[in-house]
């Protein structure tokens, strides 16, 4: 790798690290609420009208608390600091995760551009898919620990620590425990890939509206591109988030959730759409501003450091 190429990679690594840290710190409370709502433990099952069958059997539907209501309940029962459960592993993991992602995406895009028509949607798609797979595999243990900390409802001296959580996971099934939900993370790569394709397309349109493909976009234009692309991608791929959370939180040999499609089927069978889309509102309230902040910081950091 040339000095110029190495410098650009370092700039993308640093920019991604800073962007991810800032965004995750600001939106941590909503991340905790979303994760709680993705588990069936915070919902209430209520009877509904029996279906017209030979034997009328009342069915159950799941009623999830509203995000603000759950937020108040967490603060009331566990204290304000509970809204930042899992932030430690997040800050440990988000810096390398975002750094690896942005650097991988940038380098894969350069590689694809040299072998195909530059900056097409195919180039953006392949680059995003490759970067997503690399990050999901390399950082899985951190996110498994983070998820388990967020759903643990202890407070004070009974609050679980990251080290204690890691020991519990290792005692359960060794290193394999740290990769639970990895298949769901791989499925989630499709969301990221779709987001990047749409994001790059929207940026290109905005630049053309400004008069040139090489024109700089304003902060408001970058935010518009991010919000539109992330909102659509998040809604389309949301069920994989629920499946991933369910796979991560259980321990023991008699686990209810074992594999991606098996978990997807069980959640749909027992909870229907309420289960598969539990926490979507909190997810959107978190992930859209999170992504907007992250990409705004990233784009300006890259521009300021002179990689573009």
Mean pLDDT by 10-residue block, N- to C-terminus, for the chain (308 residues)?
Answer: 65 77 84 85 49 46 68 89 88 79 86 87 88 92 91 76 91 91 92 88 90 81 89 92 91 84 94 89 85 80 72
Note down the domain range covering 64: 3-46+59-305
Task: Identify whether 118 is part of a domain.
Answer: yes
pLDDT in tens, 207-250: 988 888 778 888 888 888 988 999 999 999 999 999 999 999 88
CA atoms within 13 A on the CB side of 159: 15
Predicted confidence at residue 288, as pLDDT, reads: 85
Instruction: Note whether 207 and 215 are within 8 A (CB).
Output: yes
Predicted confidence at residue 46, as pLDDT, reads: 46
Task: Identify whether 166 is part of a domain.
Answer: yes
3-class secondary structure, 44: strand
Task: Identify whether 20 is part of a domain.
Answer: yes
pLDDT in tens, 153-199: 776 667 788 899 999 999 988 999 999 999 999 998 988 888 888 99
From the CA atom positions of the chain, what is the Rg in Å?
21
Alpha helix ranges (H) inside 156-181: 162-173
Predicted confidence at residue 247, as pLDDT, reads: 92
Task: Identify whether 207 is part of a domain.
Answer: yes
Predicted confidence at residue 178, as pLDDT, reads: 94
Instruction: Note whether 6 and 13 are within 8 A (CB).
Output: no
Task: Identify whether 51 is part of a domain.
Answer: no
Task: Identify whether 54 is part of a domain.
Answer: no
| Cα 71 to Cα 31: distance, rounded to the nearest angstrom | 11
The pTM of this model reads 0.73
CATH code, domain carrying 131: 1.50.40.10
Strand-pair category, 44-47 with 60-63: antiparallel
| Cα 125 to Cα 144: distance, rounded to the nearest angstrom | 26
How many domains, the chain? 1
Task: Identify whether 232 is part of a domain.
Answer: yes
- Identify any residues that bridge with 47 across adjacent strands, giving them in sequence order: 60
Task: Report the first-to-last Cα separation within the chain, whole angstroms.
Answer: 18
- Identify any residues that bridge with 235 across adjacent strands, giving them in sequence order: none
CA angle at residue 188 from 128 to 82, to 5 degrees? 115
Predicted confidence at residue 88, as pLDDT, reads: 87
Task: Identify whether 251 is part of a domain.
Answer: yes
3-class secondary structure, 212: coil
Predicted confidence at residue 274, as pLDDT, reads: 87
């Amino acid at each position: 790798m040339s000095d110029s190429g190495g410098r650009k990679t370092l700039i993308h690594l640093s920019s991604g690290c800073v962007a991810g840290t800032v965004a995750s710190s600001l939106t941590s409370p909503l991340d905790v609420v979303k994760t709680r709502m993705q588990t069936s433990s915070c919902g209430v099952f209520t009877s509904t009208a029996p279906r017209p069958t030979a034997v009328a059997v009342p069915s159950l539907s799941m009623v999830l608390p509203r995000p603000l209501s759950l937020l108040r309940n967490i603060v009331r029962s566990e204290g304000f600091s509970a809204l930042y459960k899992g932030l430690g592993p997040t800050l440990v993991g988000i810096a390398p995760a975002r750094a690896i992602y942005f650097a991988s995406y940038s380098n894969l895009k350069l590689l694809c551009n040299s072998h195909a028509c530059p900056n097409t949607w195919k180039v953006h798609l392949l680059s995003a898919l490759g970067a997503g797979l690399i990050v999901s595999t390399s950082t899985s243990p951190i996110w498994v620990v983070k998820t388990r900390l967020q759903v643990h409802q202890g407070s004070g001296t009974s609050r679980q620590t990251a080290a204690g959580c890691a020991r519990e996971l290792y005692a359960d099934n060794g290193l394999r425990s740290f990769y639970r939900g990895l298949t769901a993370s791989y499925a989630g790569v499709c969301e990221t890939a779709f987001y990047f394709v749409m994001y790059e397309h929207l940026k290109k349109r905005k630049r053309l509206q400004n008069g040139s493909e090489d024109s700089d976009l304003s902060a408001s234009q970058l935010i518009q591109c991010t919000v539109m692309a992330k909102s659509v991608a998040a809604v389309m791929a949301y069920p994989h988030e629920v499946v991933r959370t369910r796979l991560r939180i259980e321990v023991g040999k008699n686990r209810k959730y074992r594999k991606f499609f098996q978990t997807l089927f069980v959640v749909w069978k027992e909870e229907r759409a309420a289960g598969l889309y539990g926490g979507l509102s909190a997810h959107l309230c978190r992930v859209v501003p999170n992504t907007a902040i992250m990409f705004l910081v990233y784009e300006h950091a890259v521009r300021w450091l002179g990689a573009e």
